Amino acid sequence: MIGHLVRHELRLRFLTPAWWLLASGIWLVCAWLLFAQLQVYQEIQPRLVASGANLGINELLVAPTLNVLAILLLVIAPLLGMASLAGERRSGRLALLLSTPLSLPQMLLGKWLGLLLPVSLIAAGILGMLSSLALGMQLDWARLATAMAGLILLSALASALSLACSAFTRQAAAAFAAALTVLIFLWLADGFVETGSPLHWFALSPHLGTFLQGTVTSDGLIYFTTLTLAALALAMVGLLRERESPPRRRLRELLAFLMLGILLAAAANLSQSQRHTLFRSAPLPEALLETLAAINGPITVTAWAPDYPILRARIEKLLRPLREIHPDFTLRWNDPQREPQLARETGITHDGELRIEAMGRAQRVPQPDHASLLRALRHLARRGEPWIVALQGNGEAPLGESQQGLGAWVRSLNSHGFRVVGVDAAGPIPDNAALLLAAAPAQDYAQDQVEKLKAFLRRGGRLLWLQEAGASSSLANLTGIGVLPGTLVTSAGSAGLSPLQLNVPIPVELDVPESGGAILDRAFALLPPEDGAWRIHARLQTGAHAWNETGPLQGELQRNPLQGERSGPHAVGLLIENGDNARIAVIGDSDLARNAQFGGAGNARLLLSVVNWLTDNRLDTRTAADDADIDWSPVVGISLALFHLLVGPALLGLAGMQIQRRRSRA
């Protein structure tokens, strides 16, 4: 029976020109917006890549179009649904419908589905338009899918609200105005209802926003389901007046309102207390998740940014995980150009600066990037920064700026949220040491120092050892990793490299986005531990042409097997882990971390990814968005623009008019 009513409603929509003309108009508006933005995007794309803004077409083209589509749906649903019941009542058909055996829930469901499908079809059409960008762009399909789910849920809610408003009046225009008012109130509630207030749960845009950004949360599903059911229940109350006798009607109305109140209160409470992420199109950094879990209470971020779309989109993207994960997150925008006095008082020095407040404290984030954000959040969570403790006192490489120093690497680690601290190896290991660094110790560590390091590893500690000529006994004692005598050389030198320099590919297990290798100079070959407790996670290997030269490193070098010189491939880096969750990375060279060579080839990437692996830090180290490029020919671009701006909308409009003409001739 519901199917019969739905078919009828669809026939009414699709056999009259209104839906076709509306769909045509929406297509045109969205296409115009999309291609206008595309033009701007093409102009600014090189600057975006250069600035490392990590924003691509999904952020700057697809997301704004989806936002506009969502706002249009808030108008379309009431427009198509305003006459659903009010018009039927006015024409006298409602009484005729009520004289049939059709039950009220059947009538309501039929009307609702008959409205939801055409509205959703418009949303699907626009998503289809966006999908056509895949001809030359890298679309985030998972995010498009969650956006579609969100837009269908929005359509369901808007359709139900339109029906509810239509159920209480004979005037279709009044129903339209009422439904639009309620929907706009829900949409804007995020802006004027205080975040902590229970009323804030009713705000539509944060719930829809998570779907549009590629995440499905239990909170969002509960929100849309509950409000849709509530709106349908309200519509039912409106219809009860038409069929039920007064005593029975009053009882049912009372029950309906009671259930409605309980449902809304329970849903608001449940969705806030039991918030789960059910699907996410892009994984979140583990380190951020852990830090956020340690922050109780509300997090308020004030972003000092002028109304520049790119800057704001960048900040939005940066803060998205916080919005998704933290149950009580608020983002406020302040324009330093409009409020210069306040900006000066707050200590804001440049655009894009963030101020985060949580747990009664505040932190500044000078740059809107992951590392700075994470560092600030860790401070707020009182967990401190993850220290990298560089052992000193046994001839290790200095942390300074000399040619042999590690200064450049230390600065790079700082910018990624770490703090490198030099600590005397004879002293205690700090509690917040995330990683111990033994950077080319010249002498073996004393036995008690080795025992201290072993105890640290037994507690699941992490160690990065850069091996040079000395301290190989300590290394073997600690890790079971041996060092072959001699220096690694190769007969297959590549352009610009001497036989002493090895170009080593970065292992795929380290998940470094860019391909390429690191350059090791005078490296040592490593022998894997024989202790079965250690599992090799990844290894850096030389090519087959490398061997461990035991003779003097001058003149023409040749492998001499009689001297124990073995042919490659040799391991120059070993990443091992054991059942205690301890992790050790040993690299048979320290030059790649020293100022003289740190910036060369993929050295920085290799070291950062090794540190990330050792510290479980999965921060995104990419500097450009994957989806930044547009790869289509001018013909494809022009054809798409013509189709979406002209042919498609025109075809839809003509189809509507043709239907009208054919039917009126019958």
Partner 1 sequence: MKAVLQAQALSLPPRLKNLSLRLRGNETIGLLGINGAGKSTALMALAGVLPDTQGELRVMGETLSNAPALRRHIAWLPQQPALHPDLSVAENLAFFAGLRLMRRPDSRQLAQTLERFDLGPLRKRLAHRLSGGERMRLALASVLLNEPRILLLDEPTAGLDPLQAERLRGLLQRESSERAVLIASHLLPDIEQLCERILLMHAGSVIADEPMHTAKPRVRVGLAHPPSDEALLALPGVARIVSANHGERILELAPGFPENLAEQVAARGWGLQRWEPGGSDLLARFRALSTGESG
Count the neighbouring beta carbons within 10 Å of the beta carbon of residue 229.
18
Contacts with partner 1: how many residues (CB under 8 A)?
A: 32
Nearer to partner 1 by C-beta: 117 or 610? 117
Minimum distance of partner 1 from residue 255's CB (angstroms): 17
Of positions 12, 29, 145, 500, contacts partner 1 by CB under 8 A:
12
- 664 counts as binding partner 1 under rule CB under 8 A: yes
- 252 counts as binding partner 1 under rule CB under 8 A: no
Minimum distance of partner 1 from residue 98's CB (angstroms): 5
Contact status, residue 572 vs residue 541, Cβ threshold 8 Å: yes
Nearer to partner 1 by C-beta: 17 or 405? 17
Question: In the stretch 312-341, what mask flags binding to partner 1 with x, by CB under 8 A?
Answer: ------------------------------
Instruction: Determine the Cα angle at 275 with ends 217 and 301, to 5°.
Output: 90
Element (H, E) at 318: helix 309-325
Nearer to partner 1 by C-beta: 106 or 346? 106
Nearer to partner 1 by C-beta: 15 or 260? 15
Instruction: Determine the Cα angle at 49 with ends 412 and 53, to 5°.
Output: 65
- 666 counts as binding partner 1 under rule CB under 8 A: yes
Contacts of 134 (CB under 8 A, 6+ apart): none
Minimum distance of partner 1 from residue 141's CB (angstroms): 38
Structure tokens at 426: 């004879």
Of positions 61, 69, 72, 97, contacts partner 1 by CB under 8 A:
97
- 249 counts as binding partner 1 under rule CB under 8 A: yes
Question: In the stretch 197-236, what mask flags binding to partner 1 with x, by CB under 8 A?
Answer: ----------------------------------------
- 242 counts as binding partner 1 under rule CB under 8 A: yes
> In 3D, which of 30, 166, 80, 52 has the Cα closest to residue 415?
52
Q: Which amino acid is at 101?
A: P
Instruction: Determine the Cα angle at 659 with ends 658 and 664, to 5°.
Output: 100
Of positions 138, 149, 225, 244, contacts partner 1 by CB under 8 A:
244
Of positions 68, 109, 113, 243, contacts partner 1 by CB under 8 A:
243
Contacts of 653 (CB under 8 A, 6+ apart): 20, 21, 24
Structure tokens at 182: 């309620």
Nearer to partner 1 by C-beta: 92 or 561? 92
Burial-class residue 470 by CB neighbours within 10 Å (0-12, 13-18, 19+).
middle
Of positions 191, 194, 246, 496, contacts partner 1 by CB under 8 A:
246
Question: In the stretch 34-73, what mask flags binding to partner 1 with x, by CB under 8 A?
Answer: ----------------------------------------
Structure tokens at 634: 């001018």
Instruction: Give per-residue burial for 594-622: e unless 16+ CB within 10 Å, then b.
Output: bbebbeebbbbbbbbbbbbbbbebbbebe
Minimum distance of partner 1 from residue 118's CB (angstroms): 15
Of positions 10, 14, 15, 632, contacts partner 1 by CB under 8 A:
15
Of positions 36, 40, 96, 293, contacts partner 1 by CB under 8 A:
96
> In 3D, which of 78, 86, 111 has the Cα closest to residue 242?
86
Minimum distance of partner 1 from residue 649's CB (angstroms): 23
Contact status, residue 292 vs residue 235, Cβ threshold 8 Å: no
Of positions 105, 188, 248, 286, contacts partner 1 by CB under 8 A:
248
Instruction: Report DSSP letters for 499-546, one per residue.
Output: TTEEEEEPPGGG--SS--EEEEES---EE----TT-EEEEEEE--TTE
Instruction: Report DSSP letters for 98-145, one per residue.
Output: HTSS--HHHHHHHHHHHHHHHHHHHHHHHHHHHHGGGGTB---HHHHH
- Kindly report whether the peptide bond that precedes residue 336 is cis, defined as omega within 30 degrees of 0: no
Minimum distance of partner 1 from residue 107's CB (angstroms): 9
Nearer to partner 1 by C-beta: 242 or 351? 242
Minimum distance of partner 1 from residue 176's CB (angstroms): 19
- 256 counts as binding partner 1 under rule CB under 8 A: no
Minimum distance of partner 1 from residue 16's CB (angstroms): 5
Distance CA 57, CA 338 (A): 30
First and final CA of the chain: distance in angstroms?
29
- 459 counts as binding partner 1 under rule CB under 8 A: no
Q: Which residues pair with 504 in a beta bridge?
A: 518
Number of H helices, E strands in the chain: 22, 19
Contact status, residue 421 vs residue 428, Cβ threshold 8 Å: no
Contact status, residue 358 vs residue 295, Cβ threshold 8 Å: yes
Contacts of 205 (CB under 8 A, 6+ apart): 187, 188, 189, 190
Contact status, residue 23 vs residue 30, Cβ threshold 8 Å: no
Minimum distance of partner 1 from residue 12's CB (angstroms): 7
Of positions 10, 16, 37, 145, contacts partner 1 by CB under 8 A:
16
Minimum distance of partner 1 from residue 104's CB (angstroms): 9
**Judged by CB under 8 A, which stretch of 7-15, 257-265, 315-323, 491-499 contacts partner 1?**
7-15
Contact status, residue 565 vs residue 577, Cβ threshold 8 Å: no
Question: In the stretch 73-92, what mask flags binding to partner 1 with x, by CB under 8 A?
Answer: ------------------xx
Count the neighbouring beta carbons within 10 Å of the beta carbon of residue 386.
22
Minimum distance of partner 1 from residue 659's CB (angstroms): 10
Phi, psi of 574 (to 5 degrees): -130, 130
Nearer to partner 1 by C-beta: 4 or 535? 4
- 454 counts as binding partner 1 under rule CB under 8 A: no
- 661 counts as binding partner 1 under rule CB under 8 A: no
- 247 counts as binding partner 1 under rule CB under 8 A: no
Contacts of 113 (CB under 8 A, 6+ apart): 2, 6, 9
Residue 300 DSSP SS3: strand
**Judged by CB under 8 A, which stretch of 312-320, 434-442, 597-605, 658-666 contacts partner 1?**
658-666
- 265 counts as binding partner 1 under rule CB under 8 A: no
- 241 counts as binding partner 1 under rule CB under 8 A: yes
Under the rule (CB under 8 A), what is the footprint of partner 1?
Answer: 1, 4-5, 7-8, 11-12, 15-16, 91-93, 95-103, 241-246, 248-249, 663-664, 666
